[in-house]
Amino acid sequence: MLRHRLPLLITGVAGVAGFNAFHHFQRKYPGQVVGLRPPQTWKLTGPGIVAQVAEDAEAMRAFFDYFGFRAILDCGGNCALKSCELDPAMAHRVNVQCAQVLAQEVRRHNARLVHLSSDLVFSGTRSGNYVETDATDPVTVYGKTMVEAEKLFAAQTPDAAILRISLPMGPSFNRHAGAIDWMQSRFRPQRPATLYFDEVRSCTYCDDLNGAFEKLLTSDASGIFHAGGPQAMTLYQIAQVVNRVGNFQPELLKGCPRIEAGLMPPRAGNVSMNSGKLSAELGEQPFQPWPLGDDLQPAHRDWHYDRPAQEPRSLEQIAGRLYRYPNCLAATH
């Protein structure tokens, strides 16, 4: 149990992984979990959520001293690819300088740290199935700053666990962040969305990630671990699933290879990850395939045009099948 490492700080609660983790842990440990958000995300409020400039070392020192955190789940950072390309200084400040400040407080308080990195530390120019010992070669400013943060934590907090995640599948606080909500934000007002045939990711349900987070926060495992789901999917296939399950107009989904997308921002290729090391550490396979269910496996590029009469399709189905496990299977996992 995590109780011997409370209170818990979760940074980056404006992102999908942090938002879902905060509510998961807050339900389990009420009054013992604090979520950190940037001041500019003022719409994100609620019990336990604190606005703080994470790169302000003096303010963060006072913040840690006040709460006395014993564990930190670091979901912070800016993953907006285009924004990072256009403003590398901002990307470095948010993704690296904040990591430096956090590392100092982790050492000072002798706290347990689980830091989230990204599959985009890789270029995807090989056939995917990356393992932790593969050389990093990011193609984006975001990916490069993630590599810098990994190296910083490895050097300054060697007891920390660094978890490379892919696309976390769950709701976002503003219903616009994250893969599923961004696609919905295009399809619902009947705007087209163009996704790539050759960018491959290892999606994971946030339900599964939360379980892995808790086990790593409780353990003393250290080093880098991959946390990608067992089923690799292209961005186009992911959009096919969202389009069909949500009963959106199929013609709104467009597809193309990455080379036709232009240079801003650069796109990675097949960055699917092998999570065998994490499974061995946890003693089990922590991730179900996303999406769960044989009926949601795109078989061809026009699969989302197929609309079986008996198949339920609605916004509620997105919440019940794509944010979380299908109700009929949730009790068995």
d(CA 53, CA 35): 13
Distance CA 90, CA 185 (A): 26
Q: Which amino acid, 234?
A: T
| 245/316 Cα distance (integer angstroms) | 9
Is cis: bond before 257, omega within 30 of 0?
A: no
Tokens of 280: 């061995």
Contacts of residue 187, Cβ cutoff 8 Å, sequence gap at least 6: 193, 242, 243, 246, 248, 249, 252, 253
Instruction: Kindly state the DSSP code that residue 136 receives in the 8-state scheme.
Output: P
> What is each CA distance from 125 to 16, 182, 231, 275, in whole angstroms?
27, 26, 19, 19
Tell me the helix, strand and coil percentages in the chain, rounded to 5. 40, 15, 40
Q: How do the domains of the chain map onto residue ranges? A: 3-173+203-227
- Three-state DSSP at 226 gives strand
Which residues does residue 205 pair with via DSSP β-bridges, in sequence order?
169
Q: Residues 31-61: pLDDT tens digits?
A: 999 999 999 888 888 999 999 889 999 999 9
12: CB partners within 8 A, 6+ apart: 18, 36, 37, 74, 75, 76, 77, 116
Q: What is the pTM of this model?
A: 0.94
- Cα 174 to Cα 13, 43, 221, 316, distances in angstroms: 11, 8, 33, 17
CATH superfamily, region 3-173+203-227: NAD(P)-binding Rossmann-like Domain (3.40.50.720)
Tens of pLDDT, residue by residue, the chain (333 residues): 688 899 999 999 999 999 999 999 999 999 999 999 999 888 888 999 999 889 999 999 999 999 999 999 999 988 889 999 999 999 999 999 999 999 999 999 999 999 999 999 999 998 899 999 999 999 999 999 999 999 999 999 999 999 999 999 999 987 778 899 999 999 999 999 999 999 999 999 999 999 999 999 999 999 999 999 999 999 999 999 999 999 999 999 999 999 888 778 999 999 999 999 999 999 999 999 999 999 999 999 999 999 999 999 999 999 999 998 875 454 444
